[in-house]
Structure 1
Amino acid sequence: MELLSSSSSTEAKKIVALAFHLLFVVATAAAAPLPVALPGCPETCGNITVPYPFGTRHGCFREGFNLTCDDTPPGRPPRLLVGDGVEVVGISLAEGTVRIHTKMLSVSLPVPGNWSSTSTSTRVNGSWSAGVTPTGGRLAVSTTRNRFVAMGCNLLASLVVHDAIDGDEYVSVCAALCADRSQSQLGDTSCSGVGCCQTPVSAGHSSYGIQLSDLSFQFQTPAASSTTSRLAALFIADQEWFVRNATVLQLDYSGEPQRTVDTWVVPTVLEWSLDRSRDSDMFLEWEDPGSVGRCISLNSTIVEDGVAGSNVGRARCNCSNGFEGNPYIANGCQDIDECQQPDIYPCHGICINLPGTYRCSSKKRISSLPGLITIIAISAGFGLLFSLLGAAKITKRLKQQKAKKLREFFFKRNHGLLLQQLITSNKDIAERLKIFSLEELEQATNNFDQNRILGGGGHGTVYKGILSDQRVVAIKKSKIIVQKEIDQFINEVVILSQTNHRNVVKLFGCCLETEVPLLVYEFISNGTLSYHLHGQSEHPLSWKDRLRIALETARAIAYLHSAASVPVFHRDIKSANILLTDILTAKLSDFGASRSISIDETGVLTAIQGTHGYLDPEYYYTSRLTEKSDVYSFGVILAELLTRVKSVFSSHSSEGASLASYFVSLIRDNRLSDILDSQIVEEGGTEDAKVVARLAMACLSLKGEERPTMRQVETTLEDVQSSKVHHNSRIPRVSQNVPKVESHNGNKGSEGTRLFSLEKEFLQSSEIPR
């Protein structure tokens, strides 16, 4: 009986000790950190881990594995560099890889002339380098993780390894063709040979020769006969990265090739290894000749496969199964506690950690006191674990609910419910306008990536986005979070939802779940009229194109004034708000400052708003906004089209001279030739320019009643374009008694419809407070 009692007491003590061990394992949040670098050596540079054999200080790296931690200038995050200043973004001991950032190689192919039957292809030679020569041949391009990519039209791209004995050796070749100009611009986002091609890198080196052959002589296509040079972009990229970014990259390249080459950074994967002879001190062989051996650390193994350009004598080290850490330093491989990772190492009983492995003992039915203690201990341990997991899950759910309530609050504050009713009750608007969720637009813009910014206007920043249906759009996001900006965004939604004109930018929808609403427009890829007139465009607009752009803009403004559902005064007409498509069709944009008025009103008193150089002087002094305010601003645009001078320019007598006043004074003195753009004279458009100049002068009259209406301006420009105008005829002016708004019943019926009472309610709720 005494012996039985002693045995039971011993078993109880063991079970209690096991229970306390389990509690300790559950309560421990983190184990001791695994060694990474040699003692006393930096383990990181910025947020990049630097494991031995790599290092950034003398005595901290093996020969050929030296890196540089650049922490200049102060205030900028440190950068890890290798070789010729190439940025390192990741090092993996387990995979034996180094991820670096490389640039695209751009090649301008010469434009062929008229090919004859004896024409041959044009070949351009170049080189691509990973920039890691100073590492002594330790690093080479990974053949399994990278792709060689070429973007362009009608070209054959080759990666070449130069061999002094055997001559050039082609290691990777692919061809990219374009059947016509439209395909060369849009591209095939699969990168399978239409405007873009890709192929594996078949040999691992740190640098390659590049050979680019022009195949345009074989394909007499519009893309090949372009009047401008063709740009080809070549690079070696991480295969997984390229798969994720191929669509956006090719769309950017098709629109702006040079900008894409200059701004995109490409990740490339390099592989590294040790030399069994050169680094013999790193490899410790077992006494058994048939063993694979180990490295410096205990519990490590030697790996001789998976090395770039593997040859006899090249090898790496890995920790043995059940161990993690750095096998290249003493005691670097530490035991993994498998019991802390049940998702990877499942156990349906009692998990016991062992060196390099673990044991899962089955649960036994215990009815004695020691069994009860075991159950209590295990229950307490799992209770603590579930409490921690439950707290984390509850915290996450509370955050999600808070974010959802905040989105709902913004949606209601931004008149979302009223806009939903407006869309539901009006079939025409429902077909054109959609209310997007915030998640849709975040996905379309890659979380509003800075690389997607197209530009900034007076009322927000514009991002390029790709919707789930592959439509390319422009998304406007306000810079300043104030109620006035919110009202201007809502104002723009209301106005553009009622407009339907080919020369007014289309609004696809909006998102009201943010503090400031987001607007989704059609994407206009050719920039603004201001850029083409005053920027560095290689192809200045011809007089014929300028005249057509002026006419299309006048039609858009006249439509807003007299043919839209409710008359609209734009209030910020300027060349920067006129977008141009690929075929130079004008699109009027940026309605954030616009005001809609009733049919029977002739004007409205508002706070002064507009752009210096385009602002109507009469509106500035009286605060009374009329349709003639837009006419004055359009007159400034006509002056810009005639002179290619900015609305506010520098002169010898003033640092900020007004183009409007200067232009009018020259016309009155019959000195148009002093400021007329010489290109118009060379194209023989002087006589038409004189008529347009007199029209601009009429629009720039200081008194609003002396200015023509936009319908009259439109008619005059149509006559000029069709050469029906008499150059000695007078430009139409209107008297003060002429009604402001022309009847629009029966005119352009497809471009506008009457507002229902619900639409009027929405307009009133979104007016800017004055």
Structure 2
Amino acid sequence: MKILGAQGNPCATTPHIFLVQLLLLCLCSLFCTGFSQSNPTKCPGSSIDIPSPFNIPGNSSISRNPGFDISCDSTGPMISLGRKQYRVLGISLLQGYVRVTGHTVYTQCQQNAGPVTTNFIDLRGTPFTFSPTLNKFTVVGCDSMAMIQSPDVTSRYRGGCVSFCASEGSITSGTCSGVGCCQASVPEELKVLKLEFTSIRSQLLQSSGSLGNISKSSSAWCSKAFIVDQGSYVFSRDHLDRNLTNLPMVLDWSISGGNCSEARSAPQTYMCKENTDCYTVANNTAYRCNCSAGFTGNPYLGCQDIDECKDKNKYPCTHKCINRIGGFNCTCPMGMTGDGKKQGNGCSRDKTLLIAAGKFHMVLYLLPFEMNC
């Protein structure tokens, strides 16, 4: 049975139907607005994305993961590590790191005493480690040997470097060569930053009674040591005299629960969703997820197919492109052969057809002569 409008037109809309449609539209608008507001991915007033597995207050669309909670204050996202809060500068899903600032710059000024051990940053019990590829352990000073102590009783040190100054004139801004500033690699899987400062001057006096090439005035400057994003720190001569603050640092993160094989055996807690790949990290004790080839999105929520054929700027085919789930196919026009890909063989004239066509023309050319004979 058809519902007729005022003019008997089945496509016309009566006032009652129009009101019902308007009401549904308003309800949908309210629902959609409320949904988007109740599941934020940014702190208010901040442009920094907080993707799953990280979670901010009010986002109920994703499961909560221990150690990944982000809080919001008036300046943006913050993350709590131990007893200290760090400001979040950015999060990478693909490379698995979070960039933060607000960490401690260790300072030691009593250089004439024996070795001095500092308080330490402890990331044990969190999903984070100090990134060995994106950070540098850095020491600023003119009488400094700073060593990273190992929490393992079987080995005392895990790394460190020495910085000295033969004279004030030998200090050059812009480089950490060991004069006024030194840098060393951050050890793999480092979770505890505990430092030991030693005065080079004191060690030389104790061992040989001579200062060698170390300036007598070098101990006037305090020594500073810190882990810093290697792409963000440039040494300057005035860093010897002033406090250093707001230095960025990079922390690698991973999902606890064993390696990929072990994590898959517990599907109720396995974090890699549809169309994703799992890869093991952290000495075979944890894992991260990435979208499979041909898919995009957040691997901790599920990845969607990329329609390569729609991107005109990256159109992959020389002729026709056919999208498929997880990839695409290129086809060549009739009479041409090849893979049809711009980054492949493309399309070219089919030589077998050209030869066949040539033979056909030859037959047509010779046929009248044979008939005359």
TM-score, normalisation: structure 1: 0.34
- Please name the residue that 2:68 is paired with: 65
Which position in structure 2 is the counterpart of 1:276?
Answer: 257
Q: Is 2:164 aligned against 1:172?
A: no
Counterpart selection for 2:276 from 275, 297, 300:
300
Task: From the superposition, tell whether residues 105 and 80 of structure 1 become closer, same or farther in structure 2 (CA, over 3 Å).
Answer: closer
> What residue ranges of structure 2 are gaps of 5+ in the alignment?
1-34, 205-209, 337-373
Residue 237 of structure 1: which of 228, 231, 239 is its match?
Answer: 228
Looking at structure 1, the residues matched to 266 and 242 of structure 2 have their Cα atoms a distance apart, in angstroms, of 54
Output aligned runs, 1:203-352, within 5 Å: 203-217=188-202, 218=204, 220=211, 224-226=215-217, 229-242=220-233, 246=234, 249-254=235-240, 257-259=241-243, 261=244, 264-276=245-257, 283=264, 296-304=272-280, 307=281, 310-329=282-301, 332-341=302-311, 346-352=316-322
Q: Contact 2:106–2:118 (CA<8 Å) still a contact in 1?
A: no
1:152 aligned residue: 141
Instruction: Say if 1:160 and 1:209, in contact at 8 Å, map to a contact too.
Output: yes
* Amino acid paired to 1:150: V
Question: For residue 126 of structure 1, what is the aligned residue in structure 2?
Answer: 118
**Residues 88 and 341 of structure 1, relative CA distance in 2, 3 Å threshold:** same
After TM superposition, the structure 1 = structure 2 runs for residues 442-453 of structure 1, keeping only pairs within 5 Å, are none
The SS at the match of 2:217 is coil
**2:99, 2:249 within 8 Å by CA — same for their partners in 1?**
yes
Instruction: Report how many aligned residue pairs link the two structures.
Output: 287
The Cα RMSD (Å) is 3.5
How far residue 298 of structure 1 moved from its aligned partner, in angstroms, is 1.5
Q: What is aligned with 1:193?
A: 178
Structure 1 CA distance for aligned equivalents of residues 305 and 257 of structure 2: 27
Asked if the contact 2:139/2:163 (under 8 Å) is kept, the reply is yes
CA contact (8 A) 2:148 2:160 kept: yes
One-letter code of the match for 1:155?
S
In structure 2, the CA distance between the partners of 1:322 and 1:363, relative to structure 1 (3 Å rule), is same
How far apart are 1:353 and its partner, in Å?
2.4
Return closer, same or farther for 1:174/1:344 CA change in 2, 3 Å cut-off. Answer: farther
Partner Cα distance (1:296, 1:215) in 2:
50
**CA distance in 1 between partners of 2:145 and 2:121 (Å):** 20
Counterparts of 1:344 and 1:231 in 2: how far apart (Å)? Answer: 55
Task: Report SS of the residue matched to 1:216.
Answer: helix
Distance 1:343 1:295, change over 3 A: farther
Question: What are the residue-to-residue correspondences of 1:698-717 with 2, within 5 Å?
Answer: none
| AA of the residue aligned to 2:134 | R
Between the two proteins, what is the percent identity of the paired residues?
Answer: 29
Instruction: Provide the rounded CA distance (Å) in 2 between the counterparts of 1:187 and 1:300.
Output: 49
Q: 1:169 to 1:350 in 2, by over 3 A?
A: farther
1:202 and 2:187 correspond = yes
Quick check: 1:127–1:207 contact (8 Å CA) kept in 2?
Answer: no
CA shift, 1:279, in A, is 11
C-alpha distance 252-358 of structure 1, shift in aligned 2 (>3 A): farther
> Contact 2:142–2:163 (CA<8 Å) still a contact in 1?
yes
Q: Distance in 1 between matches of 2:111 and 2:255?
A: 48
* Secondary structure of 2:150's aligned partner: strand
Q: Which residue of 1 aligns with 2:55?
A: 55
Alpha-carbon distance in structure 2 between the residues aligned to 1:350 and 1:69 = 49
Which SS does the other structure have where 1:226 is aligned?
helix
Deviation of the 1:153 alpha carbon: 0.8
User: Does residue 172 of structure 2 align to residue 181 of structure 1?
Assistant: no
Find the aligned partners of 2:255 and 2:318 in 1 and give their Cα distance: 42
Which amino acid is the alignment partner of residue 65 of structure 2? R
**Equivalences for residues 607-618 of structure 1 within 5 A:** none
Paired residues of 1:48 and 1:80 also in contact (CA < 8 A): no
Aligned counterpart, 1:360: 330
Q: Tell me the distance in 2 between the aligned counterparts of 1:110 and 1:279.
A: 48
For 1:39 and 1:328, the matched residues in 2 are separated by 21
Counterpart secondary structure, 2:317: coil
Query: How big is each residue's C-alpha offset from its partner over 1:410-434, in whole Å with a ceiling of 9 and x where there is no partner?
Result: xxxxxxxxxxxxxxxxxxxxxxxxx
Greater Rg over alpha carbons, structure: 1
| Residue 223 to residue 323, structure 1, CA distance change in 2 (3 Å) | same
State the distance in 1 between where 2:191 and 2:221 align.
Answer: 28
Output the amino acid matched with 2:323: N
After TM superposition, give the deviation of residue 282 of structure 1 in Å: 6.9
Kept in 2, the 8 Å contact 1:172–1:202? The answer is: yes
Correspondence list, 1:663-674, <5 A: none
Contact residue 108 and residue 229 of structure 1 kept, 8 A: no
Once residues 300 and 37 of structure 2 are traced to their aligned partners in structure 1, the CA distance between those partners, rounded to angstroms, is 13
SS in 1 for 2:242: helix
How far apart in 2 are the matches of 1:222 and 1:237?
29
Deviation per CA, 1:601-649, whole angstroms, max 9, x where unpaired? xxxxxxxxxxxxxxxxxxxxxxxxxxxxxxxxxxxxxxxxxxxxxxxxx
Task: Decide whether the 8 Å contact of 1:87 with 1:100 is kept in 2.
Answer: yes
- 1:235 is paired with a residue whose SS is strand
Q: Is the 8 A contact 1:159 1:208 kept in 2?
A: yes
- Post-superposition offset of 1:109: 2.8
Distance 2:178 2:56 in 1: 43
**1:236 to 1:94, Cα distance in 2 relative to 1, 3 A:** same
Q: CA deviation at 1:345?
A: 6.3
Q: Which residue of 2 aligns with 1:99?
A: 99
Residues 476-495 of structure 1 mapped to structure 2, 5 A cutoff: none
| Residue from 64, 76, 79 that aligns with 1:78 | 76
**Aligned-partner residue type, residue 293 of structure 2:** N
Does the 8 Å contact 2:142/2:219 carry over to 1? no
Structure number with the higher strand fraction is 2
Cα distance change of structure 1 residues 344 and 282 upon mapping to structure 2, 3 Å threshold? farther
DSSP 3-state at the match of 2:216: coil
CA spacing shift, 1:111–1:138, aligned 2, 3 Å: closer
**Cα separation, 2, equivalents of 1:285 and 1:301:** 16
In structure 2, relative to structure 1, the CA distance for the partners of 1:359 and 1:303 (3 Å cut) is same
- Matched to 2:93, the amino acid is L
Quickly say closer, same or farther: Cα 1:230–1:168, change in 2 above 3 A: farther
Distance of aligned partners of 1:353 and 1:268 in 2 relative to their CA distance in 1, 3 Å threshold? same
Shift of 1:269: 1.2
CA distance in 1, matches of 2:197, 2:110: 12
Residue by residue over 1:36-63, the C-alpha shift from the partner in whole angstroms, topping out at 9 and shown as x without a partner, is: x999532112111112221123755212
- Give the drift of 1:209: 1.0
Per the TM alignment, residue 360 of structure 1 is displaced from its structure 2 partner at its CA by: 2.4
